[in-house]
Each structure stands twice: as structure tokens, then as C-alpha cells.
A = this chain, B = another copy of it.
Amino acid sequence: MDFATIIGVLVGLSLIFGAIFWQANLQDINPGVFYETISVMIVVGGTLAATAIAFPLKEVRRLLTIIGAVFKGGRVEMGTLVDEIVDMGTVARKGPKDLENALDEVGNPFLKDGLQMVVDGYSVEEIRDILATRVEYREEREMTEANMFKAMGKFAPAFGILGTLIGLVFMLNGMSAEGGGAAMAGRIGRGMATALIPTFYGAFLANLFLLPMAEKLLSQITSKSTQQNMITEGVCLLQMKKHPLIVREKINSFVPPREWKRTEPGGGA
């Protein structure tokens, strides 16, 4: 569970709504002026419609799944993964049988598939080639998802402005009706306030949800690729039957130095 995301959403919502209610209270204005059904229709509906046009149905249908993934987070500690690969290296040096028996304990499916290829006797070039292709196209698929959120983060403010333009055209056309300067000022004020609501919705959705989520998806993609590239390197070293000390040294280069552990010289081999 990615608590930062949940805290961010809750804090963001509290701040914006808190500010609105506080100010409403101070000025004795009904905070309900911030809810406007037509504006919700234009901004939320328009954004979803544009997204349905812009992306394959398959991706659009996964929208909620992807939002769930953003909240779930789930970054594996790289240090633990290094240990697991180095341990598997010790097992692999005993023989493919031992490695095959140990496979059930491996949690990471990418590592498991890689080790299975070692057991099946694929060459180092084949393993590297297959795993690198998997990483490349996994990145590409997930990038489409991140791009979908980025695009939504651009559509939302654009439909907000569209809604505001519609509101302004009505307000301005209604300006001819009168009843004295003060009444007119009040009417214009309320009309413009209503016209600004969709822009507010668009900016709110984009900056508190859509754009931060796109950013989080991008950083999840990068971090997953680092992990899988490290696994690829590790599995190739295992297939070459390299000494666990060298395996650790090599795959440690994917990890920030402050997370390195050293294998005890006598323990690893």
C-alpha cells in the first residue's frame, strides 16, 4: 500500500475543501456555489469522451485498475532482491536440478522465468535477448497507460476552459436585461462566478489527480525496469556460473551505494 499517495489525496482534498468552507464561512456565502451539475458534465464527461477517442478501448477499460495500481505502489526493496539473486547464484553453481527445486521459493515472476530458462539450458545470449525484449515491450505498454493519464491531465483543463467559454457567452448575452446598476452588477458577478466553475474543476482534477498519477506511473515504470534489468544481468551471470561475490559486485551497480550489503567472503561460495 502506497501511503504517500493516500495521504496526498486526503491532504489535498482537505486543503482545497477546507479553504472553500473557511472562506465561505468568513464571507457568509453558501459553499454550494462550487457545485454545478452542468460543469461536471462538461469537464468530467468531456475528458472521458476525449480519452475514449484518444486511446484503445482496452486501455480505457483498465482506467480503474491503473488507478488502483497507483495506490497500491509496491516497490520491492532492491537490496532484498540482490540478496535473493546472489543466493540463487550459490544454488545454481550446485547444478540445474538444485536450481529447479529452489524455483518454487522465488516470488518475483520475472526472476522465476529467467531462472527457468537457466534450468532449460538457454544460452546467455538467448536469455538476455528474451528478457530484454520483455522489458522493452512492458515499458512500452505501461508508457501508454502513463500517457493516458498525462493526456487526461491536459484534456481536463481544456474542457474546463470550454465550459467557461460557454458560461461566458450566456452571461454576456444576458447582460442586456437590466434593473439598475447594482442589480446588474450582482447578476454579472454571479454569472461570471458560475462561468469560472468548470475551469476550477479542470484545474482541480488535473493537478490533484491526473498529472500526479501520470508522474507516479512514470516513476513506477522506471523503477520496475531498473529492477528487471538487474534481474536480467543477474540471471545471465548465473548462467555463466560466476562466483557469488562477482555476481553481487556486478548487480550492486544497479543499486544506490547506501543500500549495498557485502557477502561475507566465506559464506557466499
Measured CB to CB, the residues of A under 8 A from B are: 2-5, 7-9, 11-12, 15-16, 18-20, 22-24, 27, 29, 33-34, 38, 41-42, 45-46, 48-60, 70, 73, 75, 109, 117, 126, 129-131, 133-134, 137-138, 140-141, 144, 147, 151, 154-155, 158-159, 161-163, 165-178, 181-182, 184-190, 192-193, 196-197, 199-200, 203-204, 206-209, 211-213, 215-216, 219, 222-223, 226, 233, 249-250, 253-257
Contacts and interface: CB of A to CB of B under 8 A. Distances in A.
Which among A70, A190, A215 has the greatest number of chain B C-beta atoms within 10 A? A215
B213 A8 contact: no
Nearest to A42: B19
A239 B182 CA distance: 85
B27 A170 contact: yes
Nearest to A7: B52
Nearest to A155: B207
A17 B49 CA distance: 14
Contacts of A138: 256
Nearest to A143: B222
Contact of A12 (B46, B163, B203): B46
Given A8-B51, A38-B23, A162-B203, A29 B254 contact: no
B19 A212 contact: no
B166 A200 contact: yes
Contacts of A50: 8, 12, 207-208, 211-212
A219 B22 CA distance: 43
Contacts of A250: 126, 129-130, 133
A233 to B, nearest CB: 8
A161 B203 contact: yes
Contacts of A144: 219, 222
Contacts of A54: 8, 211-213, 215-216, 219
B197 A169 contact: yes
